[in-house]
Amino acid sequence: MSATIIDGKAFAAGLRARVAEDVRGLAERGIAPGLAVVLVGEDPASQVYVRNKAAQTVEAGMRSFQHRLPATTSQAELLALVHTLNADDAVDGILVQLPLPAGIDAQAIIEAIAPEKDVDGFHPANVGRLATGMPGLVPCTPLGASMLIDSVRPDVAGLEAVVIGRSNIVGKPMAQLLLQRSATVTIAHSRTRDLADVCRRADILVAAVGRPEMVRGDWIKPGAVVVDVGINRVPNPQAEDGKTRLVGDVAFDEAKEVAGAITPVPGGVGPMTIACLLANTLQAAKARRGL
């Protein structure tokens, strides 16, 4: 039997519409949430993401502030910009696009962002809030992934969840979100022994490793919810012009024959990242005003 395909693109559109509606309500009270996005360097994928973030911010009725800096920007210059944005009352959310060029310590930049404006949810204060179950800003990709899981399996209490990947951006916060919902959570990674066997016991399987199609169909428990966070560009043998295609960390065609529900790539978790960024910016704007 073929799995339910979870339509992240449609879900993200719905979330953006709900954010826009809330933003209209704030506008009536003279409030315009603002999001500042900082891009350092010319990474082609990052340029696309930043452009999409700005466009969707404006579409939702919020103010967008873009800062594009050359790859030669020093850490001190970037820190100075972050401090300026922290102090700018028109800015409710600050996001520094990752990855940063070599030579800039990303963690130092993240820690410089005021926690109440940290719409990426990467600041240690927000990481701690998530870990301790306090309200705070939650990283966008795992937040979006958890909404997609909720849409097909609203109650995960007592279920086995396996998260492959232990990054601060996806794997660890994803595990926290599942734990908060009382799933039994395993974080697997490159040193995990018998990874396929570990995955086979998962009712909820989240793949966030960055290795194209690593998770095979026979790693999946029949009926499991499979969430693919990977975005990998691979050569497209069908294209004559050397163009690439996007694949996830899961071998989709095999997995969809076994899973109960699965997110595709593209069109699954990816679009949720920016929709959740808008939701976080709205949340930050309200919280800063005590609303």
Ligand X SMILES: Nc1nc2c(c(=O)[nH]1)N[C@@H](CN(C=O)c1ccc(C(=O)N[C@@H](CCC(=O)O)C(=O)O)cc1)CN2
Q: Any idea which residues carry the catalytic annotation?
A: 53, 97, 120
Give min distance, CB of 227 to ligand X, in A.
12
Find the residue with minimal CB distance to ligand X: 270
Q: If you compute the radius of gyration of the chain from its CA atoms, what whole number of angstroms results?
A: 19
- Give Cβ neighbours of residue 70 (< 8 Å, ≥ 6 apart): 40, 41
- Confirm whether residue 165 is marked as ligand binding: yes
Compare residues 195 and 229 and give the one whose CB is closer to ligand X. Answer: 229
- Confirm whether residue 270 is marked as ligand binding: no
CA distance from start to end of the chain: 47
- Confirm whether residue 144 is marked as ligand binding: no
| CA–CA dist 78, 38 (Å, integer) | 9
- Confirm whether residue 167 is marked as ligand binding: yes
| CA–CA dist 200, 275 (Å, integer) | 31
DSSP state of 215: B
Give min distance, CB of 214 to ligand X, in A.
17
| CA–CA dist 276, 264 (Å, integer) | 18
Site residues (CB under 6 A) for ligand X?
Answer: 49, 95-98, 120, 140-141, 231, 246, 265-267, 270-271, 273-274
Token pair in block for residue 54:
């700005």
Give min distance, CB of 250 to ligand X, in A.
13
Binding site per annotation, positions for NADP(+): 165-167, 231
Query: Annotated binding site, which residues?
Result: 165-167, 231
